[in-house]
Amino acid sequence: MKSIKPGRAPSMMGAFGSAAAVVFGIFWTLSAVSMGAPGFFVLFGIVFIALGAANAVYHFKNATGKTRFSAFDITDSSEEPDPLNEYFAERKADNQTTGAAGNRKFDEDAGTAGNTDAVAFCPYCGAKAEPDYNFCAKCGKPLP
């Protein structure tokens, strides 16, 4: 597994930004209390301070720590299969055999002089597909 980690400088900038947010939260809370504002204004300030402090600790640790948190993990299919890819690959295979709306697959003989009752549809958008077209007239995707 490969990882993408944020740089130390952006993490330190995040720590300074979060510290500034904590200072703002303290200012907000003290102002709300001194003006006699409703309780949810004071609660907002406290939550703002807590989130800012947690964010500052995270970024500071990421900027100065020996091991940094990974922003993204990249895996090869040999390391970990992607269940969504398997799910959508099965659905795509089903759509190519039955069509998106459950209609039969577009084949080259559909709609020709010998078979005028067969109607084919684009498997991507569901629009009626002309039998001699290579691309859908509505969405522009290639027809099977």
Structural domain includes residue 112: yes
12, 55 in Cβ contact below 8 A? no
Beta-carbon contacts of 11 under 8 Å, excluding residues fewer than 6 positions away, are: 59, 60, 62, 63, 68
Residue found by looking up tokens 């597909």 in the block: 129
pTM over 0.75: no
Same domain, 50 and 94: no
Interatomic CA distance for residues 131 and 141, integer angstroms: 14
Domain that holds residue 45: 2-74
Name the domain boundary from 53, 74, 95. Answer: 74
- Number of domains comprising the chain: 2
Together in a domain, 87 and 35: no
Percent of the chain scoring above 70 in pLDDT: 72
Q: Is the domain of 57 the same as that of 89?
A: no
pLDDT digits (tens, 9 = 90+) for 16-73: 999 999 999 999 999 999 999 999 999 999 999 999 999 999 999 988 888 888 777 7
Task: Please report whether residue 27 resides in a domain.
Answer: yes
Is residue 62 within 8 Å of residue 6, measured between CB atoms?
Answer: yes
Please name the helix (run of DSSP H) or strand (run of DSSP E) that holds residue 94, with its range, or none.
Answer: helix 83-98
1 or 140, higher pLDDT: 140
Among 37-46, 113-122, 131-140, name the one with the lowest average pLDDT.
113-122
Do residues 15 and 34 share a domain?
Answer: yes
Does residue 140 lie within any of the structural domains? no
Please report the pLDDT score of residue 106 as a whole number. 44
Which of 93 and 121 is assigned the larger pLDDT?
121
